[in-house]
Chains A and B, each alone.
Chain A
Amino acid sequence: MSQHLLIAPLVLPLCAAVLLLWRRGGAPIIKRSLGIGATLALVVIGIALVHMAGDGVIRYYALGDWQPPFGIVLVLDRLSAMMVLLTAVLALGAILYASAGQDEDGTNFQGLFQLQLLGINGAFLTGDLFNLFVFFEVLLIASYALLMHGGGRSRTGAGMHYVALNLAGSSLFLFALGILYGALGTLNMADMARQIGAGLDAHQRGLVHAGGLLLLSVFAHKSAMLPLHFWLPRAYAAAPAPVAALFAIMTKIGLYAILRVYSLIFADHAGPLAGLAQPWLWWCGLATLAVAGVGVLSARDLRLQTSYLILISVGTLLCAFGMGHIESITAALYYIVHTTLVTGGLFLLADMIASQRGRAGARAVRSRPLVQPGRLGALYFIGMIAVIGLPPLSGAIGKALVLSSAGEEQALWLWPILLLAGLCGIISASRAGSTIFWRAGEGDPEGPRMGWRRGLGITGLIAASPVLTVLAGPMSDYAAATAHQLSDPDHYLQAILGNPTTASEAADVSHAGGESS
C-alpha cells in the first residue's frame, strides 16, 4: 500500500476537482468542506512523504508498470517530498482564507484550485521532462482561470499579458524538448543524464548545449529571473488574494525545475557541459536582486510591495543556486520554505487590510482607521520582519546561511547587493506600515472583521516564520541532507535505472511501485 502513496498527491486533488466541478452548483458549505478537507488530506500525505523520503532512499512509481527509461515515472526524493508538503501547507492557508467568501465571487473556484494543486504536485514529482511540460500546462491553465476569478479591468489586463507570455514560454519549452530529444533520444531525466555522461560527439554536444540553455530561459521566465520578470508584479498584484498566495509557489516551481535539471542532467559528469547554467544564474540573480530592491522602493501598494519582495527572494535563491555548492543549496532550501509561506501570508494580509480601508484599498495613503488595527498591525510587523530578513525570525537565519555560504570573490558581489535590497525592503515596509497603521485619517472604522477562517489562514502562514525559527536545527539538517542528495546524481541514476548489468533483476524486484536504493 505504502508504495502507492507516491501517486496520492496527484490522485487526491484530481478526484476532489472532478467532484467539485461535477457539483459546481452545490451549496457553498459542501464545496468548501470538500476543498478544505482535500487540502488537509494533502498536508497529511505531504508529511507522510517527507517522512518516507527522510531515509535517503530515492523511490519511483512507474505508471502502468512500464519500467524506466521507457515508461513515465514519478520520483520521490527529499527535495520533491519537501516541495509537495510546502505546497500543501501554503494551499491550506489560501483555501481557508478563500472559504470566507471570496470563492463565491465567480464560478468553480474550489475545483480550479484543486486542479492547480494537481499541476503543482505533478511538476514536483515527475521524473520525465515531457511530463514536466504537461504538468506545467495543467497548472498554468488552472492559474489563468484563477487569476481572472471575480473579473475586473485590472485582472483582464494582467491576465492577457500573463497568458500570452506563458503561451510563448510553452512553445519555447517544446522547442527545447525537441532539440534535446533529437540529440539524446530520450526524455527521462535520469536517462538523459546517463546519455550525456556516456559522452557525446561534437554536433550532439552543440545541440544539447543549445537545448539546455533554451530550457534555462523557459525556467527563468517561470521563476521571474531578470530580464524575464516583468509579468510578475502586475499579475500578482491583480490576482485575488488567495490565488496570489498560492502563486507564491509558482516562481518556486521554476526554481525547482532549474535545480532539478541542472543538478541532475548537467551535473559534473556532463564533461564540457557541466555547470552550464551556473554563470547565468549567478549574474542574472544579482541583477534580479538589484532591480527588485529598486522596485520595492517604488511600490505604493501593499500587494505590489509583496510582489517585489517575492522578486527579492527569487534573486536570493538564484544567487544561491548560481554558487552551486552544497552549503549554498542548503541555505536556498531553508530560505525557499520560509519565503514561500510568509509571502503567501502577506498577500492574504494585504487583502484583509484593503477590505477594511474602503476606497483607499491596499495603497499606502491616508484613509479611515482600520477596524482591527492591533491584530493586523502585529501580523504586518511580524510578516515584514520575517520576509525582509531582520533578526530574530527565520528570514534572518536563511539570509545568514546564504551570505555565509558565499566564497570570498562571490561575497564581494553578494553581500552588498543582498543587504542593500534588504535595506530597500525595510524602507518600503516602514513607510507603508506607518502610513497605514499610524497616520489614519478621519472617519469611523467600518468593514468586514477578520473572521476565524481568514484569521487562521493569515496567522497560520505568517506564524510559519517563528515556527521555522524554533525548528531551524532540524529544518536545516533536512535541507543539508537534501543538498547532499542533489549533489550525488549517480545515486539518482542508480535508483531509477539500476545497474546496467542488473537491470533485468531490478525489473523483477520492483513492481508497480518500485523501490530501489
Chain B
Amino acid sequence: MELIYSICTGVLTTSGIFLALRGRTFPVVVGLTLLTYAVNLFLFSMGGLHTAASTVIGSDMPMADPLPQALVLTAIVIGFAMTAFVVILAMRARGDLGSDHVDGQRREESREAS
C-alpha cells in the first residue's frame, strides 16, 4: 500500500510541476490543480498509513491520527477556492491580454517564440 500510495503522489507531483512550467495558462492551471491534489494526498499520509484503525475513541483497536484529516480538509477547501479563482483569472487574462500565454504575448510573438 505504501508503495502504490507514494508512487501515486510522486506521479501527480511530477505531472503537476511539468504542467505548471508550461507557457499557456490552461496547462498552468491544470498543473497547479494536480499539485494541490498531490499535496492533499501527501498531507493525508503524514500521520502514517494504517489499515483497520479506528476513528472513534473507545474501541481497543489502534487509533488513526485525526489531525492530518482535519488539516487535509482545510487544505482541500483552500485549494478548491484558489483553483476557482485562478480559472476565472485565466479567462480574464485571455480577454484583457488577447492571448492565453502567461506573459500575455500576442499570438504572432508567441508563435515565433515557441
Contacts and interface: CB of A to CB of B under 8 A. Distances in A.
A235 B92 CA distance: 17
Contact of B39 (A163, A164, A171): A171
Contacts of B89: 144, 148, 156, 159-160, 163
Contact of B71 (A130, A144, A152): A130
B67 A181 contact: yes
Given A161-B102, A168-B20, A156 B96 contact: yes
Contact of B93 (A134, A157, A167, A177): A157
A144 B92 CA distance: 13
B90 interface: yes
A105 to B, nearest CB: 16
Contacts of A181: 46-47, 67-68, 71
A144 B32 contact: no
A168 B32 contact: yes
Interface residues of B, number: 34
A157 B85 contact: no
A175 B104 CA distance: 30
Given A156-B92, A157-B97, A174-B43, A163 B35 contact: no
A134 B97 contact: no
Interface string B19-46: 0100001001000100110110011011
A141 interface: yes
Given A157-B97, A160-B89, A181-B68, A167 B103 contact: no
Contacts of B48: 182
Contacts of B47: 181-182
The size bracket of the interface on A is 20 to 34
Contacts of B75: 174
A178 interface: yes
A3 interface: no
Contacts of B46: 178-179, 181-182
A170 interface: yes
B42 A178 contact: yes
Interface string B33-73: 00110110011011110000000000000000001100100
Nearest to B83: A167
8 contacts: A141-B85, A144-B89, A156-B92, A156-B96, A160-B89, A167-B36, A177-B71, A178-B45
